[in-house]
């Protein structure tokens, strides 16, 4: 069993997952675009901010139980982001020049990440509901793969511009409101399952946001931020049910850094993340693989689902460490081509395992800690 020096990081405790919960109508609220847009501030963290709007509120939720009003709200907000792109960003970029045009272009990319995250989440809900009804999901799964490819591409573009100015088209107050309201929505969903990891993940994200001054602007100084090493048992995400590994892994490695300028982080942050990533990797090879080989039937299936969730955890840590290295290299004016190639390689693996995890949404998942 993997063991590391145990240091509690903020409010994040053991991520033992309870049974999936049903989402109520208050868990995801329909917002005006100005109240959930993520484009103001700096580029580089669009994925985390978009997840805070469309993904994190559903952490630990059985997507098959999402009601039609909630699905409609997700789709309506996605459409609002799409309208902002075509009706506001495009003409604003055409009319601008120089630094202003660059900032608007970065804002447009962040908005694309927001739009596509909403699209993928809506499709994931539809897939879960179709599976629960015994309906064919092949068309929906093809669409998810198509939209996920677009999303991954725009996330990479956003990361490549990390630290650069980003400008929205609604006056600039939306990012703070979106972060606060999305966090509140996530907390409401989590409160129905007191022992669930989603509640702990929400608490972690909230605590991290309060620790980092003006984190919602996307570019606050991260030099005083600390990320402490935890035992694998205290950050593993494999117990419970499959389907939400992405949100749970983000709560460990991504959400705590939301809004921070990654180039300003102390080197210990990447070092400690790498230590935890290696712990997840060791759990896979030293614990999951032999446990799966020795198991059979439902137990083997649950362990396999747990292994996939652990892969998502491991690869999320890997990608985040690489993003920190990329930001620092860009700030130093160093060549980043090798790092960018590595990010693309690891992100592809991560996307594959996220897709596999979501394909088993609702099934039992078992950890080894």
pLDDT digits (tens, 9 = 90+) for 285-327: 999 999 999 999 999 999 999 999 999 999 999 999 999 999 9
Q: What is the mean pLDDT of the chain?
A: 81
Q: Is residue 200 part of a domain?
A: no
Lowest mean pLDDT among 104-113, 199-208, 235-244: 199-208
Model pLDDT for residues 32-45, shown as the tens digit of each residue: 999 999 999 999 99
The answer on 256 and 170 residing in a single domain is no
Q: What confidence score (pLDDT) does residue 176 get? A: 35
Q: Is residue 197 part of a domain?
A: no
Which are the contacts of 133, defined by CB distance < 8 A and separation ≥ 6?
Answer: none
Query: Could you give the number of structural domains in the chain?
Result: 2
Chosen domain end from 192, 212, 243: 192
Q: Is residue 344 part of a domain?
A: yes
Q: What confidence score (pLDDT) does residue 114 get? A: 97
Q: CA-CA distance, 263 to 219, in Å (whole number)?
A: 10
Q: Average pLDDT of 320-339?
A: 92
Q: Is residue 140 part of a domain?
A: yes
Q: Is the pLDDT of residue 269 over 90?
A: yes
Using an 8 Å Cβ cutoff, are 9 and 237 in contact?
no
Q: Is residue 198 part of a domain?
A: no
Please, which pLDDT band fits residue 228 given cuts at 50, 70 and 90? very high
Q: What confidence score (pLDDT) does residue 219 get? A: 57
Q: Is the pLDDT of residue 234 over 70?
A: yes
Q: What confidence score (pLDDT) does residue 27 get? A: 62
Model pLDDT for residues 14-32, shown as the tens digit of each residue: 333 344 555 443 468 899 9
Using an 8 Å Cβ cutoff, are 60 and 198 in contact?
yes
Q: What confidence score (pLDDT) does residue 108 get? A: 96
Q: What confidence score (pLDDT) does residue 29 get? A: 86
Q: Is residue 235 part of a domain?
A: yes
Q: What confidence score (pLDDT) does residue 223 get? A: 87
Chosen domain end from 142, 170, 192: 192
The answer on 49 and 6 residing in a single domain is no
The answer on 36 and 51 residing in a single domain is yes
Q: What confidence score (pLDDT) does residue 192 get? A: 33
Q: What confidence score (pLDDT) does residue 210 get? A: 33
The answer on 61 and 2 residing in a single domain is no
Q: What confidence score (pLDDT) does residue 301 get? A: 94
Q: What confidence score (pLDDT) does residue 20 get? A: 52
Q: Average pLDDT of 251-273?
A: 91
Which are the contacts of 225, defined by CB distance < 8 A and separation ≥ 6?
Answer: 211, 212, 257, 260, 265, 266, 269
The answer on 249 and 157 residing in a single domain is no
* pTM exceeds 0.75: no
The answer on 46 and 145 residing in a single domain is yes
The answer on 185 and 50 residing in a single domain is yes
Q: Domain range spanning residue 149? A: 22-192
The answer on 341 and 241 residing in a single domain is yes
Q: CA-CA distance, 204 to 263, in Å (whole number)?
A: 22
Q: In the chain, what percentage of residues exceed pLDDT 90?
A: 69
What is the 3-state composition of the chain as percent helix, strand, coil, each rounded to the nearest 5? 65, 5, 30
Q: Is residue 213 part of a domain?
A: no
The answer on 252 and 162 residing in a single domain is no
Lowest mean pLDDT among 112-126, 161-175, 204-218, 302-316: 204-218
Q: Is the pLDDT of residue 112 over 90?
A: yes
Q: Is the pLDDT of residue 202 over 70?
A: no
The answer on 184 and 257 residing in a single domain is no
The answer on 187 and 133 residing in a single domain is yes
The answer on 163 and 140 residing in a single domain is yes
Q: Is residue 171 part of a domain?
A: yes
- Is the pLDDT higher at 162 or at 208? 162
The three-state DSSP-derived secondary structure of 206-268 is HHHHHHCCCHHHCCECCCCCCCCCCCHHHCCCCCEECCCHHHHHHHHHCHHHCCECHHHCCHH
Chosen domain end from 192, 208, 238: 192
């Amino acid at each position: 069993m993997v063991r590391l020096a145990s240091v509690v990081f903020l409010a994040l405790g053991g991520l033992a997952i309870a049974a999936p919960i049903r989402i109520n109508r208050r868990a995801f609220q329909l917002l005006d675009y100005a109240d959930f847009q993520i484009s103001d501030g700096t580029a580089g963290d669009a994925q985390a901010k978009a997840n805070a709007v469309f993904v994190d509120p559903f952490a630990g939720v059985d997507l098959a139980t999402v009601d039609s009003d909630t699905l409609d709200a997700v789709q309506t907000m996605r459409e609002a982001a799409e309208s902002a792109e075509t009706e506001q960003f495009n003409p604003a970029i055409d009319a601008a020049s120089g630094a202003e045009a660059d900032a608007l272009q970065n804002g447009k990319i962040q908005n694309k990440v927001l739009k596509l995250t909403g699209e993928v989440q809506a499709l994931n809900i539809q897939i879960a509901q179709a599976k629960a009804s015994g309906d064919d999901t092949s068309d929906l799964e093809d669409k998810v793969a198509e939209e996920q490819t677009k999303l991954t591409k725009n996330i990479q573009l956003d990361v490549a511009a990390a630290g650069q100015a980003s400008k929205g088209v609604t006056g600039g107050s939306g990012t703070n409101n979106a972060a606060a309201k999305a966090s509140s929505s996530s907390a409401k969903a989590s409160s129905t399952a007191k022992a669930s990891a989603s509640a702990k993940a929400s608490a972690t994200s909230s605590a991290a946001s309060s620790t980092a001054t003006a984190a919602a602007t996307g570019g606050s100084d991260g030099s005083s931020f600390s990320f402490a090493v935890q035992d694998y048992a205290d950050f593993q995400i494999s117990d419970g049910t499959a389907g939400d590994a992405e949100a749970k892994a983000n709560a460990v490695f991504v959400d705590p850094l939301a809004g921070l300028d990654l180039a300003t982080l102390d080197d210990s942050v990447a070092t400690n993340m790498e230590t935890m990533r290696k712990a997840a990797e060791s759990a896979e090879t030293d614990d999951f693989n032999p446990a799966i080989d020795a198991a059979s039937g439902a137990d083997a299936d649950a362990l396999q689902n747990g292994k996939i969730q652990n892969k998502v955890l491991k690869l999320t840590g890997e990608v985040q460490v690489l993003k920190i290295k990329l930001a620092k290299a860009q700030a130093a004016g160093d060549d980043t081509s090798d790092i960018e190639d590595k990010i693309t390689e690891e992100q592809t693996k991560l996307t594959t395992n996220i897709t596999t995890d979501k394909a088993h949404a609702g099934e039992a998942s078992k950890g080894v800690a």
